[in-house]
Amino acid sequence: MKKLDKKNKQFTIQKSPELGDFRYVQKKGIELRRQVNELHFKFGISKSEIARQKHVSRMFVIRWTEKPDMDVTEDKRGWPKKTSRKWGKETYRKVKKLHKKLSSDPKRYFFGATAIELAWKKKYPQDSCPPLRTLGRMLKDQNLITKRKGCRSKGAARYLCYPEYSIYHHICNGRLLEADFMGEKYIHGRSAPVNFLGYSFKIKPKLRHFKRIESQTSKEFIRYTKRFIKDFEKPPGVKVDNALAFRGSASGKRNISATMKYLLSEEIIPIFAVPRKPFSQASIEGNNSVFSRKFWNRTEFTSLEQVDEELEWFNDASLEYSQYWEDKKTGPKDKPSLRGFKPCIYFIRQVQDSAVSEDGQIDVLNESIQMPEEYINYFVLAHWDLSAEQLTVSIEKEQKLHNIKRVKFRINSDYKI
């Protein structure tokens, strides 16, 4: 029924005994068409008001209010309802068969549209494969997937000048490796935690790779990063968080950690993510989520031997899923280095309120750097030139870095260039 809200001066459509509670009816369904028609001809509500209240287009309302006795079940698509225009029942059957094969194989961990597409091309190389969106719809129609809840992105990082473009393209020439320790895991019958180290490339050739390690220390990071470089590739830069295993001393200022020394010796630039901002490690954090959902939470492990065996399966499945080696062979050749290697370290920071003045500040290796007040809450990129022992703080605007401040930043005497 129609009711005037005097305060807001607008009509609201309320639940009617005759129409029922239609708030949850699927849009553009037959029942919705009938309700739109009745609201206009039986209750006299305007077409614009119906479109606003029912969250449909005005053209939809006009289409189903041509006359009071319209046939709202009419279907002019030209093919049977709930039937694909191009892909028939046989295609649905093949998709279901491929999904069953993948999901029943203990060495397979991915059963979504991308995995189905890869399996289709191997199983039916002569047949045209449906697009990814169509495969996803077919899986959903057959109740073979469960949609995960996702968080909404507000775009705040871009608004606050997060220097992603500069990190990927100016510093790392398009190949940035993210690495991170994962939270401690436990298995039945073992009191000691099980630790893992994850690696990720988020730009093609994409890659996710995981290793079980003894402890979350710089020694273990260096040990397995050497293996990673040998097995896959050496990146221009590695981005890590601010864990002590990566940055070193919890109190010493301007200290060069063992992790930094190793990366610099390999001519790899260490890059430190924003403290307490997981989105700045989005690629590896996302892969850690995949690791938990697809691997760790899938099996109740009882021994380290079982963990190692199945982790090898998972890494193999991940390589096949990401098509790392195929993209590596067929993709563009490695770009030439942007410049000769110069020993330096980068720190991504968000300017915070200063505790001692009205200005802002950032913390770099336990050293507080004062920043102009107008940059508070913005992201900046601090470049530590180890040869000149100088720290330059910049902000990214329109994909270019603009210097804000430059200060002397002497290296701890324990490290020599």
pLDDT of residue 4 exceeding 60, the answer is no
Tell me the per-residue pLDDT of 218-235, one tens digit each, with 9 for 90 and over. Answer: 999 999 999 999 999 999
Q: Which stretch of DSSP H or E encloses residue 211?
A: strand 207-213
Q: How many whole angstroms separate alpha carbon 180 and alpha carbon 240?
A: 6
Tell me the per-residue pLDDT of 116-153, one tens digit each, with 9 for 90 and over. Answer: 898 888 889 888 898 888 888 888 888 887 666 554 54
Return the closest-CA partner of residue 257 out of 384, 171, 361. Answer: 384
Q: Assign 27 a pLDDT band (cuts: 50, 70, 90).
A: very low
In terms of C-beta density within 10 A (0-12 exposed, 13-18 middle, 19 or more buried), how is residue 16 classed? middle
Q: Using DSSP, state whether 281 is helix, strand or coil.
A: helix
User: Which residues, listed in sequence order, are joined to residue 347 by a DSSP beta bridge?
Assistant: 272, 382
User: Which residues, listed in sequence order, are joined to residue 198 by a DSSP beta bridge?
Assistant: 180, 210
137, 142, 143, 147 alpha-carbon torsion, rounded to 10° = -10
DSSP secondary structure letter of residue 20: B
Q: What is the pLDDT of residue 177?
A: 94
Q: What is the pLDDT of residue 3?
A: 47
| Contact (CB, 8 A) for 365 and 351 | no
Phi, psi of 357 (to 5 degrees): -155, 180
Q: How many whole angstroms separate alpha carbon 318 and alpha carbon 341?
A: 32
Q: Assign 319 a pLDDT band (cuts: 50, 70, 90).
A: very high
Residue 27 one-letter amino acid: K
Q: What is the pLDDT of residue 1?
A: 45
* DSSP-derived pairing of the beta strands 2-5 and 10-13: antiparallel
DSSP string, 104-148: H-TT----SHHHHHHHHHHH-TTSPPPPHHHHHHHHHHTT---PP
| Domain boundary assignment for the chain | 2-63, 89-141, 175-264+278-330
The residue count of the chain comes to: 417
Q: Assign 350 a pLDDT band (cuts: 50, 70, 90).
A: very high
pTM of this structure: 0.69
Average pLDDT over residues 45-55: 90
Q: Using DSSP, state whether 212 is helix, strand or coil.
A: strand
Alpha helix (H) residue ranges in 162-303: 164-165, 218-231, 244-247, 258-265, 282-290
Q: Assign 22 a pLDDT band (cuts: 50, 70, 90).
A: very low
Peptide bond connecting 163 to the previous residue in cis, omega within 30 degrees of 0? no
Q: How many whole angstroms separate alpha carbon 15 and alpha carbon 22?
A: 8
Q: How many whole angstroms separate alpha carbon 73 and alpha carbon 79?
A: 14
Q: How many whole angstroms separate alpha carbon 322 and alpha carbon 64?
A: 47
Q: Which long-range contacts (CB under 8 A, 24 or more apart) does 355-363 make?
A: 362/393, 363/275
DSSP string, 305-343: HHHHHHHHHHHHHHHHHHTHHHHHHHSPPPPPPSS----
* Residue 34 CA: distances (Å) to CA of 47, 69, 263: 14, 10, 67
Q: How many whole angstroms separate alpha carbon 120 and alpha carbon 173?
A: 34
CATH number given to 175-264+278-330? 3.30.420.10
Q: What is the pLDDT of residue 252?
A: 85
